[in-house]
Chains A and B, each alone.
Chain A
Amino acid sequence: MAAAPVAEPLPAAEAPPKPAIELPSSDRPAIEKAAPAIDSKLARTGLAFLPGLFIPGFGHSLSGDVETAHRLRWVSGSALAVGLLGGGALLFAAGSHKLSPICVPLMYTGATVYIQSWLADILGTAAPNGFAKPLTREAQLSMSLQYGGSYDPVTPVRHLGLLRASYEKPVLMIDGSASLAPKTDYQEFHLRVGPKLWSDGGVSHLAFLVEGMRERGPISGATGIGSALLFELRLALSYLSPGLRGLVLTQRLGYGGLRYRYPETSTTDWQDVLIIDTGLAISPTDSMEIALLYTQRPDTRLGYFVDHGGGARIDARLAISERLRLLATAELGGGIDGLLGVEASW
């Protein structure tokens, strides 16, 4: 049986500086597979969907990839334990605000990693040899410009422009965005800067970031200025198993606060902010990447689904040359944003 391709290590000359934290290499040996329990890949994938949601690693077990199934069970089990710990404590304390800063992140992290592990099982079952090499690399500089529409009955924002830029080195990352809506007062600026505690020089890193933000509401004109501290983990799942190549997990967790000032009065309000960003990116081909993201932070313009929860985002990238990509974003919360644009990297 042919060995599944794995993430390529960088040549020695381009190796990143020694990271603060040593993680195992993604260059895992190929995993021995047994014969599939069910011949049809479609049936295995369907069963990975359900009852696979409740039986972690079920799709890989049926595919004969017992080792990957075992690792997915560990991830799912750990996530479930973390989620139940956070959710259970929060339930017991009836949503106590004194436990929320710890329990809410545990609950969401556990739940989202469990879902990501389930999606990884489905996708890995559908593509046993993994997907293409992730399109998102740690380019030194990348910039994107997008423009699109918004449908949200509670705001006057109908058109939206978004400029994003990031500068990444193996030991440092700077990431900024500016969002404006024509004919309204809406403005939103974010700047994140910080060192990478670990980086493989490719897609994966663990970074500690300081975020500064400035926002202006489109209706009230209230201006919020604040900052947050956050950790960002971007991890190629080929670290977990070569069969999961082309899947990249993102977890971002942070705490911060904003002070809002209302324009026509001297009143101000303080809003503390818990930032939860989590997602899974997939590279179906060498020139395409689709990322599913879940975002929860109370200062977002688009807001949340009904009855709380966060918002969802889909980012799709299509490479049209080595340095240029088309970028499409759909964001869903209290309303819908749809943006199209280009991204360039150097």
Chain B
Amino acid sequence: MVTFSRRTLLKAMGAGTALHFLGCGGVSDADARFGRSLLPVVDQLDGGVAISAFPARLRRDGEGLLWIRAANPGLRLEFQAASATVVRFGLENLPIGARLSGTAEMVPTGPGAAAVTVSLPAGATTLRLESSATGLVRFAVVSDIHDNHKSFGAIAADIRDWNPEFVACMGDFVQSGRVAEFDDMMSQLGQLERGLYTTIGNHELFGGAADRFEELLGATNHFFSWRGVNFAMLDTGSSMIAPDAYPWLEEKLATRPPGPTLAFTHIPPLDPYGFRDHAFRSREDAEHFLQLLGEARVDHLFVGHIHSYEEYSLRGIPVHLCGGGGGQIEKLTGVGHHYLRVSVNPEAADPIHVELRQIGV
């Protein structure tokens, strides 16, 4: 017998539409973005080879070469070839020191980008990104750039000097959410000269930038492991975790490889200052989220949205509020525009070191 949940029935009855107009629409929007986050992208390479990439976005350059933008270093490429053949494609948005598994030949074409030639046998082949780096896992954390070229330019220059493997971001690249503004900001991100792995902010939801975000950057919810460190990038652009995302997150946390685990999201579950309350729109949702992270022993939570820097703890989890990538900075705190330098030694007893790096103060 086919059964329907109450939620499915309410959706079918049009309650979702009514709720949207009454202000509860973020639930269905967040669920829809989460659903799209799970979809691989597919295309055809020369010789009729089918390629499926996840999590990634695809584009063709002027010469027809397929470029695969890694949404995170956990990129997985699956090929299906009718006969043994050689294929060419490009990879971009790679972490420093990344290489493709197997016998792929990679020729760097620019920062975080490479042209790839792979000999494929007949049948299915799966390739993943690997790292040639050793020692500490180092990455920068930046959020809330808000289309501020000057501030972001200074931050990007400082990040290049430090030379981390990649940059993690918690969204709000733009201020108004216009597509043109987002495209402009995307061109600015090239200054980082390495992979940028991000979730979406609430300002990307204001205009048409959300569609453009997914078109160019891909998933708004994703999970990856890199050199013994686990990263959960979680979409809270609608001031909530999508209800459909909870089982996925539970499964990802339960089956992750051993090692420190870090979660990144735009809106903090709870504001350190309740009088202001820039937080999830429901305290229950915030507690549910924190319970999940707490039970899974997530080591640190990185959040943005509030244009300041704070270190506080929620349910015993250290929280780094890092929202100073370029938006108007919170006054009277003594904190200027900033990003974080994070170094992780998965083998150490105290594996995570976070350094606040202020720019122009």
- A265 contacts the other chain (CB 8 A): yes
Which of B25, B240, B274 is within 8 Å of A274, CB to CB? B274
Shortest Cβ gap from A117 to chain B (Å): 23
Asked if B270 lies at the interface with its beta carbon under 8 angstroms from chain A, I say yes
Residue of B whose beta carbon sits closest to that of A258: B274
- The residue that A299 contacts in the complex, of B239, B283, B314, with Cβ under 8 A, is B283
A323-338 interface code vs B (CB 8 A; 1 in, 0 out) = 0000000001111100
Residues of A within 8 Å of B241, CB to CB, are 154
Docked complex Cα distance between A265 and B274 (Å): 23
Q: Are B285 and A308 in contact (CB under 8 A)?
A: no
Q: How far is the CA of A79 from the CA of B313 in the complex (A)?
A: 38
Of the listed stretches A19-27, A66-74, A217-225, A284-292, name the one at the interface; the rest are far from the partner chain: A217-225
Interface residue B280 (Cβ < 8 Å from any Cβ of A): yes
Q: CA A265 – CA B314 in complex, angstroms? A: 12
Query: Which A residue's beta carbon lies closest to that of B238?
Result: A306
Bound Cα distance from A91 to B279, whole angstroms: 18
* Contact yes or no, A93 B332, CB < 8 A: yes
B274 touches A217 (CB 8 A): no
Minimum CB–CB distance for A266 against chain B, Å: 8
Does B26 count as interface, using CB distance less than 8 angstroms?
A: yes
Q: CA–CA, A13 to B53, complex, Å? A: 84
Contacts of A257 in B (CB 8 A): 274
B6 within 8 A of A: yes
**A154/B284 in contact, CB under 8 A:** yes
CB pair A269–B273 under 8 Å, yes or no, is no
**Cβ-based interface call for A321 (8 A):** no
Residue B333 is within 8 A (CB to CB) of chain A in the complex: yes
**CB-CB nearest in chain B for A262:** B315
CB distance from A252 to the nearest CB of B (A): 16
Known: A303-B281, A306-B24, A334-B24. A153 touches B276 (CB 8 A): no
- Quick check: is A236 within 8 A (CB to CB) of the other chain? no
Given A303-B284, A306-B24, A334-B281, A298:B274 Cβ within 8 A: yes
In the complex, residue of chain A having the shortest beta-carbon distance to the beta carbon of B306: A95
Residue contact A334 to B282, C-beta cutoff 8 Å? yes
Tell me whether B243 and A306 are in contact (CB under 8 A): no
Q: Which of B279, B307, B315 contacts A298 (CB 8 A)?
A: B279
Q: B330 at interface (Cβ–Cβ under 8 A)?
A: yes
Contact (Cβ within 8 A) A95 B330: yes
Interface of A, helix, strand, loop or mixed by DSSP: loop
Q: Is A152 an interface residue (CB 8 A)?
A: yes
Contact B285 A334 (CB under 8 A): yes
A71 to B148, CA, bound (A): 45
CB-based contact B283/A255 at 8 Å: no
Q: Does A99 contact B (CB under 8 A)?
A: yes
- The listed residue with most A CB atoms (<10 A of its CB), out of B6, B277, B315, is B277
* B273 touches which of A100, A217, A303, A333 (Cβ 8 Å): A100
Say yes or no: A303-B287 contact (C-beta < 8 A), given A262-B294, A267-B294: no
When chains A and B are docked, how far (Å) is the Cα of A333 from the Cα of B274?
18
Given the complex, which residues of A lie within 8 Å of B273, measured CB to CB?
Answer: 97, 100, 272
A199–B330 alpha-carbon span in the complex (Å): 42
| Bound-complex Cα distance A176 to B236 (A) | 35
Q: Find residues 252-273 in chain A having any chain B CB closer than 8 Å to their own CB.
A: 255, 257, 260, 262, 264-265, 267, 269, 271-273
Return B13 CB to nearest CB of chain A, in Å.
11
CB <8 Å contact, B275 and A336: no
Question: Contact check: which of A97, A218, A265, A308 meets B330 at CB < 8 Å?
Answer: A97
Complex interface: chain A residues within 8 A of B295 (CB): 264
Is A183 interfacial (CB 8 A cutoff)?
no
A96 within 8 A of B: yes
With the chains together, A218 CA to B275 CA distance in Å? 24
By the criterion CB–CB under 8 Å, are A272 and B332 in contact?
Answer: no
Question: In the complex, what's the smallest C-beta–C-beta distance from B332 to chain A, in angstroms?
Answer: 5
In Å, the complex CA distance between A269 and B287 comes to 11
Which residues between 1 and 27 of chain B lie within 8 Å of chain A, taking CB atoms? 6-7, 10, 15, 19, 22-27
Interface pair A93/B330, CB less than 8 Å apart? yes
A195-B316 Cα distance, complex, nearest whole Å: 40
Residue picked from A154, A255, A334, most chain B C-beta under 10 Å: A154
Q: Which residues of B contact A14 (CB under 8 A)?
A: none
Contact of B278 among A95, A155, A265, A274 (CB under 8 A): A95
Known A-B contacts A154-B282, A306-B25; the reply to A220 vs B275 at CB < 8 A is: no
Contacts of A12 in B (CB 8 A): none
Which B residues are CB-close (under 8 A) to A336? 19, 22, 24
How far is A255 from B290 in the complex, measured between Cα atoms in Å?
25
Query: Are B316 and A267 interface neighbours, CB within 8 A?
Result: yes
CB atoms of B275 and A97 under 8 A apart: yes
Residues of A near B126 (CB, < 8 A) are: none
CA of A155 to CA of B281 in the docked complex: distance in angstroms?
13
Interchain CA distance A94-B316 in the complex, whole Å: 28
Contact among B25, B240, B291 for A154, CB-based, below 8 A: B240
Contact (Cβ within 8 A) B314 A269: yes
**Are A273 and B23 in contact, CB atoms less than 8 angstroms apart?**
no
A282-313: which residues lie under 8 A (CB-CB) from chain B? 296, 298-309
Does A151 make an interface contact (CB < 8 A)? Answer: yes
Contacting residues, chain A, for B308 (C-beta < 8 A): 97
8 A Cβ contacts from B293-339 to A: 294-295, 306-308, 313-316, 327-333
Would you mind naming 28 contact pairs between A and B with Cβ atoms under 8 Å apart? A93-B330, A94-B329, A94-B330, A95-B306, A95-B330, A98-B332, A100-B275, A152-B284, A153-B27, A154-B27, A154-B241, A155-B284, A155-B285, A158-B6, A220-B284, A265-B316, A267-B315, A269-B313, A271-B283, A298-B279, A300-B283, A303-B282, A304-B282, A306-B26, A306-B238, A307-B281, A334-B24, A334-B281
Q: Which residues of B contact A (CB under 8 A)?
A: 6-7, 10, 15, 19, 22-27, 202, 238-241, 243, 270-285, 287-288, 290-291, 294-295, 306-308, 313-316, 327-333
* List of 5 A-B pairs having minimum Cβ-Cβ separation, nearest first: A303-B282, A305-B23, A220-B287, A267-B316, A97-B273
Interface positions of A (Cβ within 8 A of B): 92-101, 104, 151-155, 158, 217-220, 222, 255, 257, 260, 262, 264-265, 267, 269, 271-274, 296, 298-309, 332-336
